[in-house]
Structure 1
Amino acid sequence: MATIAELAGVSKITVSRALSGSEAVRPELREKIAAIAREAGYRMNVAARALRTRRSRTVALVIERLVAGDRPISDPLVLAIIGGLLETLTPAGQAMLVTSSDHFLDSQVVDADGIVMLGQGVGAERARIIAAQGLPMVAWGERLPNSDLVVIGSDNRLGGQLGARHLIDTGRRRLAFLGNVDHPEVAARLEGVRDIVATTPAMIAAVVPCDFSRVDGTAAIRALLADGVQFDAVVAASDFIAAGACDALLEAGRRVPADVSVMGFDDIAVAANNRPPLTSIRQDWSRAGRLLGESVLALIGQPESYTPPDLLPVELVVRESTTVAA
């Protein structure tokens, strides 16, 4: 920095201000100093700046589990949220560190100004443990009553209602729900299904706990068939579960949708690419990422004036896995 100051004919403090984008330095002088810095190969000492400002300029994206069943970190859902986060954090001068909740909790040093968490864990317990670190934090998921966690999420209950209404309107009467209701989001989706079923001649024939994976969806349907449960529709808590349900039904000689309608949740690529293509509840993952980024920045900068956004809307996307029953 001293060398750049000498070359530019200014003080070191002016160089520091110019390279941090301060408006206290004239635009033309800022550009001159930046050009000299680029030519000299200058790189800011981020560690030293963090010690001075007590800010790391980094947000930690903490994923509950890097791999859950057959859902890796490369899951399109996760990548879409990361994209939305980067669109918000990068212009604000924030870097993003991606890690798992286990690694984050095991680390001896938490080098972040704030936390964005994907996946609250069973009963939201993992999110509470992460929040106890005391950093500004926002989680993706379902808002819980009597909780101080700042949570942004889609309208899961409405998603369950839209799915159940569609299935019942197309003639289905015995709905099987697949998903682990210990997760707050899944519990809200089931409540939405119950809302609609309670006002119609239909019924929930079974609720089968299963993880967010194709393998678990297949196992859940096999168990229902082995137990002799009668059902003509499947409401799955994710598209992966729904795809696995289709696999098991076709394996057992049940036609989708002629014998059993199947619908998923999320509307990721597996829904459109499945055979038959899956009816699903669409969530706007890029928008979710942007809202998470905006929220954590607000909590870092002005927490006293932060107000969580409304629930994100969801949309029913109808495809070939649900049609009017014969």
Structure 2
Amino acid sequence: MNKPGDPAERPTMERVAELAGVSKITVSRALRGSELVRPEVRERVTRVAKQIGYRVNVAARSLRTRRSRTIAVVIEQLDRGDRPIADPLLLAMIGGLLEALTPADYAMLLTTNEHFLAASAMGADGVVMLGEGEGGHRLAQIEAFGLPMVAWGEPVSGVKIPVVGSANHAGGRLAAEHLVAKGRSRMLFLGDNQHPEVAARLAGCREVLASSAAMLAGVLPCAFTAEAGARAVGAAIAGGTAFDAIFAASDFIAAGASDELATRGFTVPRDVAVVGFDDAPIASAHRPPLSSIRQDGAAAGRALGRAIVGLVEGTADGSSEQLPVELVVRESSG
């Protein structure tokens, strides 16, 4: 009689089940780390599988279920270079996605919009879009592949794809209310409002200003980088625009704007108060530290992961979800 681990014995799921004293479905669940199996049973099954050299045949399981158990995560902004891959918010969302997808037994294929065709050819079960493109046009392009899909961003009129996003409009209101309360009267908005998220932040800001004595001194489109923020502020000053506050669509934009103001002899916040968005590490590390609207990237990633798994497995209703934001006040806004 062959012993566990004998070269003559072919390691199979049936053999693992027999030696562990459980059913095949329990073996399958245990080796996926399913919480439906008690911890002590998972440990026993894992130990037996290791002893006899059994490995899950992923290719066979994919053929059997007609699923690759892979989710394509598409970062929209990278193909234009307007948001670096090192953006802390993106990295936090990717980490949150892994936290949600791994326990659900899904792999993550990270790609960009330009390379999504290859991802589709590999048989992804679903898609998570990180970024919607100007006016949400990227959503329609990827939606044409016919896969279950969830996007990070802001709901777009006419597009039925479920969206997980921060409360951007509320964030815009929080920033504007804070600056108005600090006595600022001429606000400069920095960010490309062709992006639905940025447009919602600007709309919230406008709503507050419309009911106050303060005014919007200008809206300057720019990419999500410090360099773009610096150029935008430099152009505003060179053009003679008067302003005593800046609301930037990201902390990188806010940092670049603050640095440019210092270069040109302005003091933050005495001359110009600055508020960013995201509460990325650069906000607290910058000098002066930047006030910001905080959004939780890791929580966003987990919410996106739960949403796409629910759509792929038919357990979700396809509704959108909005995550809360909060104002973090630091030295840059006094």
Settle same-fold status: TM greater than 0.5: yes
Match of 2:50 in 1: 38
Tell me, yes or no, if the aligned pair for 1:152 and 1:308 is still in contact at 8 Å.
Answer: no
Q: Distance in 2 between matches of 1:27 and 1:238?
A: 44
- Corresponding residue SS for 1:139: strand
AA partner of residue 331 (structure 2): E
Q: Distance in 1 between matches of 2:218 and 2:205?
A: 12
Match of 1:247 in 2: 259
Q: Distance in 1 between matches of 2:136 and 2:56?
A: 39
Point out the more displaced range, 74-83 or 244-253.
74-83
Tell me, yes or no, if the aligned pair for 2:77 and 2:83 is still in contact at 8 Å.
Answer: no
Q: Distance in 1 between matches of 2:41 and 2:267?
A: 72
Match of 1:139 in 2: 151
Provide, for residues 43-81 of structure 1, a one-character-per-residue CA deviation record: whole Å limited to 9, x for no partner. Answer: 222122211210111111111133764743232111211
Structure 1: gaps of 5 or more residues: none
1:215-226 aligned at under 5 Å gives the runs 215-226=227-238
Structure 2: gaps of 5 or more residues: 1-7
Tell me, yes or no, if the aligned pair for 2:189 and 2:219 is still in contact at 8 Å.
Answer: yes
Point out the more displaced range, 56-65 or 163-172.
56-65
Provide, for residues 249-295 of structure 1, a one-character-per-residue CA deviation record: whole Å limited to 9, x for no partner. Answer: 00100111100011100001011111110010001111111111111
- Corresponding residue SS for 1:265: strand
Match of 1:98 in 2: 110
- Corresponding residue SS for 2:62: helix
Q: Distance in 2 between matches of 1:26 and 1:226?
A: 67
1:233 to 2:245 alignment: yes
CA gap 1:29/1:69 in 2 versus in 1, 3 angstroms: closer
Match of 1:317 in 2: 328
Q: Distance in 2 between matches of 1:273 and 1:117?
A: 29
Q: Distance in 2 between matches of 1:30 and 1:233?
A: 58
Q: Distance in 1 between matches of 2:63 and 2:102?
A: 21
Provide, for residues 157-210 of structure 1, a one-character-per-residue CA deviation record: whole Å limited to 9, x for no partner. Answer: 111111011101101000010010110000111101110110111110111010
- Corresponding residue SS for 1:81: helix
Q: Distance in 2 between matches of 1:29 and 1:290?
A: 27
- Corresponding residue SS for 2:10: helix
- Corresponding residue SS for 1:88: helix
Tell me, yes or no, if the aligned pair for 2:229 and 2:254 is still in contact at 8 Å.
Answer: yes
Q: Distance in 1 between matches of 2:74 and 2:299?
A: 18
TM-score (norm. length: structure 2): 0.87
Tell me, yes or no, if the aligned pair for 1:208 and 1:220 is still in contact at 8 Å.
Answer: yes
CA gap 1:258/1:299 in 2 versus in 1, 3 angstroms: same
Tell me, yes or no, if the aligned pair for 1:178 and 1:207 is still in contact at 8 Å.
Answer: yes
1:79 paired residue among 91, 110, 113? 91
- Corresponding residue SS for 2:128: strand
Q: What is the deviation of 1:212?
A: 0.4
Tell me, yes or no, if the aligned pair for 1:115 and 1:135 is still in contact at 8 Å.
Answer: yes
Equivalenced residue count is 320
AA partner of residue 169 (structure 2): R
1:198 paired residue among 210, 227, 231? 210
Q: Distance in 1 between matches of 2:225 and 2:305?
A: 27
1:119 paired residue among 116, 120, 131? 131
Match of 2:3 in 1: none
Q: What is the deviation of 1:27?
A: 10
CA gap 1:252/1:27 in 2 versus in 1, 3 angstroms: closer
Q: Distance in 2 between matches of 1:4 and 1:57?
A: 23
Q: Distance in 1 between matches of 2:291 and 2:186?
A: 17
1:155 to 2:167 alignment: yes
AA partner of residue 139 (structure 2): A
Tell me, yes or no, if the aligned pair for 1:62 and 1:98 is still in contact at 8 Å.
Answer: yes
TM-score (norm. length: structure 1): 0.90
Q: What is the aligned-residue RMSD (CA, Å)?
A: 2.8
Tell me, yes or no, if the aligned pair for 1:119 and 1:139 is still in contact at 8 Å.
Answer: yes
Match of 1:207 in 2: 219
Tell me, yes or no, if the aligned pair for 1:254 and 1:260 is still in contact at 8 Å.
Answer: yes
Match of 1:21 in 2: 29
